[in-house]
């Protein structure tokens, strides 16, 4: 089996699974309990928080545990909107955000908030000047993803941060779910980012766990009312086994990160260079430093994306249509639509997404399968 769908989810590392299992068996007290079992769990919870903070070079009290990227995005956006609504009701985002962001914005619009959806260029990137010209006195939040999950375009989140230094009352949220461990730490953790969201299952941690970075002093209201966990901001008994496992996964991910990123870039380039020679192939991801090293989105003209996915699956190669969240709905890519890609091409789009475990040998098997499938599709369309 060749697994090229890591942007949808990653395989949990065996040592991470072992951590989850050991904590579940041995440290099962509630971190809020006063007895020694509770104290043991609380200590591990805070050790995990400290470890994540150390890796990311932030303060431990800036890390808040969540159930994943969707909750984190909802919390950052709605939590800011409700915390700052007496100061304004205008929010700026892009037209290519993840559904967790877009649908949060749609909900807020129904509650009376105003949202500006910025266009993107042919490379799927927002323009800094568009953000600047969209800012109003009533603007309370800018929310822009670090890496687009469909084509891999890297947004200029550091430059946006520089712009927002002139607007200290606007909170700045970055969805970094696809950016963690990809050599982008410095642009994501720029000194103007206020809220940054992450999802554990994107970097070999269990599903159902994630975290949000919240800069000291920044205000969000809780979305969950309950027992007051996470400093009264995110109630719900902490998922300690998953949190401890996620801390380990993050440490493993960031060990030798530069080497791992270079390996993914090399594999991506190898596939990019090969498939770009074919007349009926359209590539939407570029092979340069403005695109993430692990995502390659392309189409074979005249063949629907789901057909391509299942064709590769018959060779034991697993890729995806452009977004796992909408793949079973057979929807055209929202990102490619925003990039003004014709519908015939966008409905043919598929995505390869790599991680540090993929190999060049797998890429070579992919292109052999590609050759056979391309000829098959060519005959069908002739």
Name the active-site residue from 325, 331, 367, 369: 325
Q: Pairing mode, if any, of strands 114-118 and 171-175?
A: unpaired
88: left (phi over 0), alpha (psi -120 to 50) or beta: left
- Residue given tokens 């791992």 in the structure block: 260
- Other C-beta atoms within 10 Å of 245: how many? 29
297: annotated active-site residue? no
Task: Give the closest residue to 122 by CA, choosing from 89, 83, 96.
Answer: 96
The set of residues, in sequence order, having a beta carbon less than 8 Å from that of 125 and lying 6+ positions away, is 153, 154, 155, 156, 290
DSSP state for residue 115 in the 8-state scheme? E
Q: Are 327 and 321 in contact (CB under 8 A)?
A: yes
- C-alpha to C-alpha distance for 132 and 140, rounded to whole angstroms: 14
- C-alpha to C-alpha distance for 240 and 346, rounded to whole angstroms: 41
Q: Pairing mode, if any, of strands 139-145 and 171-175?
A: parallel
Residues recognised as catalytic: 325
């Amino acid at each position: 089996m060749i697994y090229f769908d890591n942007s949808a989810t990653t395989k949990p590392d065996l040592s991470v699974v072992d951590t989850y299992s050991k904590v579940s068996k041995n440290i099962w007290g509630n971190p809020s309990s006063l007895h020694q079992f509770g104290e043991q769990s609380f200590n591990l919870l805070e050790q995990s928080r400290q470890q994540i903070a150390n890796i990311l070079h932030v303060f431990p009290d800036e890390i808040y545990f969540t159930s994943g990227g969707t909750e984190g995005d909802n919390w950052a956006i709605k939590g800011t909107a409700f915390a700052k609504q007496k100061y304004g009701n205008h929010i700026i985002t892009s037209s290519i955000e993840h559904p967790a962001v877009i649908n949060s914005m749609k909900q807020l619009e129904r509650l009376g908030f105003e949202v500006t959806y910025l266009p993107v260029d042919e490379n799927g990137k927002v323009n800094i000047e568009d953000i600047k010209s969209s800012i109003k006195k009533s603007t309370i939040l800018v929310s822009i993803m670090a890496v687009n999950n469909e084509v891999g375009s890297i947004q200029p989140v550091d430059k946006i941060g520089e712009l927002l230094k002139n607007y200290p009352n606007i909170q700045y949220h970055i969805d970094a779910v696809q950016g963690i461990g990809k050599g982008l730490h410095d642009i994501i953790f720029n000194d103007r980012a206020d809220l940054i969201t992450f999802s554990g299952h994107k970097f070999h941690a269990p599903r159902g766990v994630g975290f949000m970075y919240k800069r000291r002093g920044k205000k969000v209201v809780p979305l969950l009312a309950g027992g007051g966990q996470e400093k009264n901001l995110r109630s719900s008994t902490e998922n300690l086994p998953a949190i401890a496992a996620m801390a380990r996964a993050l440490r493993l991910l960031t060990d030798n990160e530069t080497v791992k990123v270079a390996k993914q870039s090399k594999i991506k380039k190898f596939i990019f260079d090969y498939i770009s020679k074919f007349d009926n192939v359209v590539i939407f991801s570029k092979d340069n430093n403005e695109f993430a090293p692990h995502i390659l989105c392309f189409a074979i003209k005249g063949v629907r994306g789901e057909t391509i996915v299942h064709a590769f699956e018959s060779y034991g190669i697993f890729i995806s249509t452009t977004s796992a969240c909408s793949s079973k709905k057979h929807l055209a890519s929202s990102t490619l639509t925003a990039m003004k890609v014709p519908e015939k091409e966008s409905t043919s789009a598929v995505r390869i997404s790599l991680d540090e475990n993929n190999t060049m040998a797998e890429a070579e098997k992919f292109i052999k399968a590609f050759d056979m499938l391309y000829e098959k599709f060519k005959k069908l369309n002739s």
